[in-house]
Amino acid sequence: MRTADRLVARTVRRGGPWLGVLAVTCVLGAFAELALPLVLGRTVDTLVAADPASTTWLGACVAIVIVTVLCDTLGVWGAGASSAQVSAWLRHRTLRHVLGVGPAMTRRFPEGDLVTRIGVNAEEAGRAPEAVVTGTALLIPTVGSLVALTLIDFRLTLTLVAGLALIALVLRAFFHVSTSIAGDYQEAQSDIAARLVDALAGARTIAAAGTAAQERSRVLTALPRLRTHAMDMWRANARAGVQAGVVVPLLEVAVLGVGGLRLAGGDLTVGELYSAARYVVLGAGLGAALSHINRLARARAAAGRVVELLVERPRTYGGRPLPTGPGTLELRGVTADGLGGTGGVDLVVPGGCSVAVVGRSGAGKSLLAALAGRLTDPLSGTVTLDGVPLPGLSPRALRQAVGYAFERPVLIGDTIGDVIGLGLDAPGPETVRAAARAACADTFVRRLPLGYDTPVEDAPMSGGERQRIGLARAFAHGQRLLVLDDATSSLDTVTERQVSRALAGELRGRTRLIVAHRVATAAAADRVVWLDRGRVRAYDTHRTLWDDPDYRAVFTVDAP
């Protein structure tokens, strides 16, 4: 948990001005609480002695109470504002890091788990500064009470110290137990979230299969575990509360007993005994720190889950631009999880050529496509574009050179035009429209109420229309290399032929790597990469490969 503790320390430094307000109000309120018993004691003594100064001391009591109330009010405001600020900073930092790592992050952490860590866990970790400040502020009344009791009678101090040692042991044990339980609870919570996201993604399939009841049971598999951890947390709270609840009254009785004996011996006044009684209550108030300890334990456990994301190494980029070239893609000795085997993949895609990637399910087609444009990095080997290793390119150069289109494109942007031009530096309307025309999307976009300015949420689209928008986005970006990962699977035959003509016509100067499942797509390519169990089985023209019955079996058809 050391890395989690370091993250908690960083959140404290990121608390901002409102955390300072909280700290000031906590300290001021603590000193006001310390002063109140002394002032009350003096007030009692002056009232007993009928001293005219009693009015002054009574006014001081009222002033201290007002200060305490104001400090509590500002403290609540400061706690909420600082926690919100820290949570926002931590969420943004974690999200930027996750995006910097790229798709490799989702291969280790399910989407629902990521959402829980970035959302719920980051928020809980963001409450750490408030818990640290308020918990630390509790030490002021305790230390102050020890000093005050020492000034009254050191025997009272020794009695209080003995009781505080027991309370400290209770709090220490509670903190470690709570951190462990909170981590287990948050893990079960993420498990449910991950299963729920999977279920939502396949909602239509579940409805069509009539398996809602079974899916509900699958999503809630971790619910008993979640309940167990929640009950463990309540039991830990109750156990620590009872232990502190037993120690504190006994401690108060012990100190008052010693004080009573000193009073009977004439060593204490009535006011001093009253002050001592109040200071015991303040000093033993450390036992009320359970709620602060619990919040800090949850924040620490949540920070541990956020740190698991932050320790993933983000992709690093160089600063090299691409030299002038046709877009030649080369893979030398490339291996990845599920691709390349022991020898690696060696492949050269000449600039301006169209190459189809075929193979059975699980052969590594999408992985090869991801490696081509550095959506993921190989375990070993080098991927170059026009002779420049992809890690040496700047992010801007890479994204301008490579365009991706996927089977299920996610449309990010406020309007349709924004979606197509996403990531471009101030794309002009003609650039967006030209890309849409090449993807056969211009016609249906113009029929929308506001054309390219139509908000995405006001533009219901079929699967094929979404794919055309995704293709347009890729065409707007990929100046050297276009990677199409099953990006035309939802297009009708006529539209697919039109897109194929655009790829072979106005986009012919770009290198095209196309993950293909249809015979027609493979036949239209200049060459075909045939993958089999993560290895390149053949690299030739479709017509040449068609003579191999194993190649024909990939498409499960009888004729080209």
Which H or E run includes 55?
helix 54-101
Residue 558 is predicted with a pLDDT of 41
| CATH 3.90.1150.10 is held by the domain 329-556 | no
Q: What is the pLDDT of residue 559?
A: 43
What string of DSSP letters covers 133-145?
A: HHHHHTHHHHHHH
- CA–CA gap between residue 446 and residue 373 (Å, rounded): 31
Residues in CB range of 55: below 8 A, 6 or more apart: none
Q: Which of 404, 347, 446, 342 is nearest to 102 (CA)?
A: 404
Helical spans, DSSP H, in 478-514:
493-504
Q: How far apart are CA 378 and CA 371, in angstroms?
A: 7
The pTM score is 0.76
Q: Contact 469/419 with Cβ under 8 angstroms?
A: yes
Q: CB of 529 within 8 A of CB of 358?
A: yes
Q: What is the pLDDT along the chain (560 residues), one digit of tens a residue?
A: 678 888 888 888 888 888 889 999 988 988 887 788 778 877 877 877 777 777 888 888 889 889 989 988 898 898 889 999 999 999 999 999 998 888 878 878 888 889 999 999 999 999 899 888 888 888 888 888 888 888 888 888 888 888 888 888 888 888 889 889 998 999 999 899 988 988 888 887 888 888 888 888 999 998 999 999 999 988 988 888 888 777 777 877 887 788 888 778 777 777 777 777 777 777 776 666 778 888 889 899 999 999 999 988 888 888 888 888 899 999 999 998 878 776 788 999 999 999 999 998 888 898 999 999 998 888 899 999 999 999 999 888 888 899 999 988 889 989 999 999 888 877 788 889 999 998 888 989 998 889 999 999 888 888 888 999 999 999 988 889 999 998 888 787 888 888 888 888 778 889 999 998 888 888 889 999 999 888 999 999 999 999 999 999 998 744 44
Among 295, 148, 168, CA closest to 240: 168
What local confidence, expressed as pLDDT, does residue 287 receive? 60
Strands 527-532 and 535-540: antiparallel
Q: Is 342 exposed, middle or buried (0-12, 13-18, 19+ CB in 10 A)?
A: exposed
140: Cβ contacts below 8 Å, ≥ 6 apart? 26, 27, 30, 31, 34
Inter-CA distances, 470 with 104, 448, 532, 551, Å: 22, 17, 28, 29
* Residue (of 481, 479, 484) closest to 500 by Cα position: 484
pLDDT for 272 equals 76
User: β-pairing, 329-335 with 345-349?
Assistant: antiparallel
CA angle 157, 162, 167 (to 5 degrees): 115
420: Cβ–Cβ under 8 A, 6 or more apart, which residues? 413, 427, 432, 435, 436, 452, 469, 472, 473, 476
Q: Which of 119, 112, 111 is closest to 94 using CA atoms?
A: 119
How crowded is the C-beta side of 3, counted as CA atoms within 13 Å?
A: 10
**CATH fourth-level superfamily of 1-141+287-315:** ABC transporter type 1, transmembrane domain (1.20.1560.10)
33 exposure class (CB count in 10 Å sphere: 0-12, 13-18, 19+): buried
pLDDT given at position 501 = 83
The continuous run of DSSP H or E covering 170 comes out as helix 154-201
* Closest to 405 measured CA to CA, from 360, 453, 439, 368: 439
Q: Which two tokens mark 67?
A: 């200060």
The percentage of residues in the chain with a pLDDT greater than 90, rounded to a whole number, is 28
Predicted local distance difference test score (pLDDT) of residue 560: 44
Residue 487: CB atoms within 10 A of its CB come to: 25
| Confidence (pLDDT) at 354 | 92
Q: What is the pLDDT of residue 278?
A: 76
Q: Where are the alpha helices (H) located in 284-427, listed in sequence order? A: 290-310, 365-372, 395-401, 416-420
Count of alpha carbons within 13 angstroms of residue 332, beta-carbon side: 9
Strand locations in 285-439, DSSP E? Answer: 329-335, 345-349, 354-358, 380-385, 388-389, 402-406
Per-residue exposure over 355-391, b if at least 16 CB sit within 10 Å of its own CB, e if not: bbbbbeeebbbbbbbbbbbbbbbbeebebbbbebebb
**pLDDT tens, position by position, 339-349:** 877 678 899 99
Q: How far apart are CA 484 and CA 369, in angstroms?
A: 8
